[in-house]
């Protein structure tokens, strides 16, 4: 999850205009700074990162230069290739004291078709190996996620609705309100809202073996 389902982008909502998308460089610049720092610390070149992630060199150049607001799927590919948590690429430079995440102004990740949203409930911290999200899934929608890095665990609880979870080649697990599930997310997985109304889940991502910076 965004958590990190496939083809998700980020926008910033405001009380004045919840529908207005964020400027293209808002998300891109923060990732650009972190990406260049992580590549330096890992001793990775753009060419090496492209080979490890399967991404085109020109895409990575644009992300590293802050010229593109990458999709969530692209960020996950980069994080997996570097062996770092998702939050390591989007964390703010410095955070301290009390932190309040206002629903009206916090970043929200969403699918291209707008049928899945994911809102962080913990501030992204490059040293934290746990991330917490509120996720909504539109009626009869299947959100698919590629495999995350080895040691990545997902723990979720269904707050509203009924959802089928498929992990790798395992049988589908049907979860109703109040049901919870934990699984190793280093294989492709999906979330299918089985109901006729929006489903609401809380999702915790934890990284057992990944490095933090």
* Chain segment 27-40, per-residue pLDDT in tens: 556 788 889 888 99
Please state which of the ranges 116-125, 142-151, 157-166, 193-202 shows the lowest mean pLDDT. 116-125
- Tokens (6 digits) for 87: 């939050």
How many Cβ atoms sit within 10 Å of the Cβ of residue 56? 10
Q: 31: Cβ–Cβ under 8 A, 6 or more apart, which residues?
A: 63, 66, 70, 75, 89, 90
The sign of the torsion formed by the CA atoms of 176, 181, 184, 185 equals positive
pLDDT top residue among 33 and 16: 33
- Tokens (6 digits) for 158: 């269904």
pLDDT top residue among 78 and 95: 78
Q: Among the ranges 4-8, 13-17, 32-36, 152-156, which has the highest mean pLDDT value?
A: 152-156
Residue 176, judged by CB atoms within 10 A of its CB (0-12, 13-18, 19+), counts as exposed
Rounded-to-integer distance, Cα 103 and Cα 83, Å: 30
pLDDT top residue among 20 and 92: 92
- Tokens (6 digits) for 20: 């207005």
Tell me what pLDDT residue 185 has: 94
pLDDT category, 95, cuts 50, 70, 90? low
DSSP letter at 122 equals: S
Query: What is the maximum span of the chain, computed from C-alpha positions, in angstroms?
Result: 49
pLDDT top residue among 1 and 131: 131
**Model-wide pTM > 0.85:** no
């Amino acid at each position: 999850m965004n958590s990190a389902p496939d083809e998700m982008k980020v926008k910033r909502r405001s009380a004045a205009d919840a529908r207005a998308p964020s400027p293209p460089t808002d998300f891109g610049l923060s990732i650009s700074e972190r990406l260049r720092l992580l590549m330096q610390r890992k001793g990775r070149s753009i060419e090496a990162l492209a080979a490890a992630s399967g991404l085109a060199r020109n895409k990575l150049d644009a992300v590293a230069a802050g010229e593109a607001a990458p999709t969530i799927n692209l960020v996950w590919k980069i994080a997996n290739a570097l062996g770092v948590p998702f939050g390591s690429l989007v964390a703010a430079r410095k955070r301290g004291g009390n932190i309040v995440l206002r629903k009206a102004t916090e970043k929200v990740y969403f699918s291209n078709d707008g049928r899945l949203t994911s809102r962080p409930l913990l501030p992204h911290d490059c040293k934290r190996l746990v991330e917490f999200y509120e996720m909504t899934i539109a009626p009869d929608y299947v959100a698919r996620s590629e495999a995350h890095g080895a040691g990545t665990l997902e723990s979720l609880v269904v707050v509203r609705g009924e959802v089928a979870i498929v992990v790798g080649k395992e049988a589908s697990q049907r979860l109703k309100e109040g049901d919870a599930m934990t699984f190793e997310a280093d294989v492709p997985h999906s979330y299918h809202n089985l109901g006729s109304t929006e489903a609401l889940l809380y999702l915790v991502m934890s990284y057992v073996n990944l490095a933090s910076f």
